[in-house]
Amino acid sequence: MKRWGIFGLLISSILVATGAFAQVKVGFVGPLTGPVAFAGISQKNGIEMALEEVNSKGGIKGVGRVEVIFEDTKCTPDVTVASVKRLNTRDKIVALIGETCSPATLAIVKVMDEAKIPLVTCKSSAPPITDQGSRYIFRTQLTSARTAAGLAEFAIKDLKLKKIATLNDSDDFGMGGATSFNGELEKLGVKPVAWEKFMKKDKDFSAQLIKIKESGAEGVFIVGLYEEVALILRQAKQLGVKFQAMGLDTITVPKFIELAGDAGEGIIASTSFNPYDPDPKVQDFVKRYKARFNRDADDSAAQGYDAMAMILHAMEQAGSANPQKLRDAIAKSDYKGVTGNTKFNEKGDDMRPFIKAQVKGGQYIFLAK
Question: What are the CA-CA distances from residue 141 to residues 122, 127, 249 (Å)?
Answer: 5, 11, 10
Whether 155 and 258 map to the same domain: the answer is yes
- What does the pLDDT profile of the chain (369 residues) look like in tens digits? 444 344 443 443 344 345 555 689 999 999 999 988 989 999 999 999 999 999 999 999 999 999 999 999 999 999 999 999 999 999 999 999 999 999 999 999 999 999 999 999 999 988 889 999 999 999 999 898 899 999 999 999 999 999 999 999 998 888 989 999 999 999 999 999 999 999 988 999 999 999 999 999 999 999 998 999 999 999 999 999 999 999 998 898 888 999 999 999 999 999 989 998 999 999 999 999 999 999 999 999 999 999 999 999 999 999 999 999 999 999 999 899 999 999 999 999 998 888 999 999 999 999 976
Whether 237 and 326 map to the same domain: the answer is no
> H helices within 249-322, ranges in order?
254-260, 280-293, 299-318
Range of the domain at 166: 145-271
Whether 244 and 154 map to the same domain: the answer is yes
DSSP conformation class of 294: S
Whether 124 and 49 map to the same domain: the answer is yes
Whether 167 and 263 map to the same domain: the answer is yes
Whether 134 and 187 map to the same domain: the answer is no
* Angstrom distance (rounded) from CA 163 to CA 215: 8
* Angle (deg, nearest 10), helices 102-115 and 172-187: 100
Examine the fold and report which residue of 232, 252, 271 is the final residue of a domain before the chain moves on.
Answer: 271
Whether 199 and 231 map to the same domain: the answer is yes
Residues 187, 166 contacting (CB under 8 angstroms): no
pTM for the structure as a whole: 0.86
Dihedral sign of CA atoms 207, 363, 36, 169 in order: negative
Does the residue 6 lie in any domain?
Answer: no
Whether 177 and 233 map to the same domain: the answer is yes
Examine the fold and report which residue of 237, 254, 271 is the final residue of a domain before the chain moves on.
Answer: 271
Angle at 137 between CA 299 and CA 73, to 5 degrees: 60
Q: Give the 3-state secondary structure percentages of the chain, helix then strand then coil, rounded to 5.
A: 50, 20, 35
Examine the fold and report which residue of 271, 302, 318 is the final residue of a domain before the chain moves on.
Answer: 271
Whether 150 and 266 map to the same domain: the answer is yes
Whether 73 and 186 map to the same domain: the answer is no
CATH code, domain carrying 240: 3.40.50.2300
Does the residue 38 lie in any domain?
Answer: yes
Residue 141: partners with Cβ closer than 8 Å, 6 or more residues away: 121, 122, 123, 124, 125, 272, 303, 350
Residues 92, 117 contacting (CB under 8 angstroms): no
Q: Are strands 219-223 and 244-247 parallel, antiparallel or unpaired?
A: parallel
Q: What integer pLDDT is reported at residue 19 of this predicted model? A: 52
Does the residue 361 lie in any domain?
Answer: no
Whether 35 and 59 map to the same domain: the answer is yes
Does the residue 336 lie in any domain?
Answer: yes
* Angstrom distance (rounded) from CA 179 to CA 149: 9
For residue 23, give the nearest of 65, 55, 51 by alpha carbon: 65
Split into its structural domains, the chain has a count of 2
Q: What integer pLDDT is reported at residue 172 of this predicted model? A: 80
Does the residue 41 lie in any domain?
Answer: yes
SS3 assignment for 96-115: EEECCCHHHHHHHHHHHHHH
Whether 237 and 312 map to the same domain: the answer is no
Residues 96, 120 contacting (CB under 8 angstroms): yes
Residue 186: partners with Cβ closer than 8 Å, 6 or more residues away: none
Does the residue 18 lie in any domain?
Answer: no
Does the residue 1 lie in any domain?
Answer: no
Does the residue 48 lie in any domain?
Answer: yes
Residues 108, 80 contacting (CB under 8 angstroms): yes
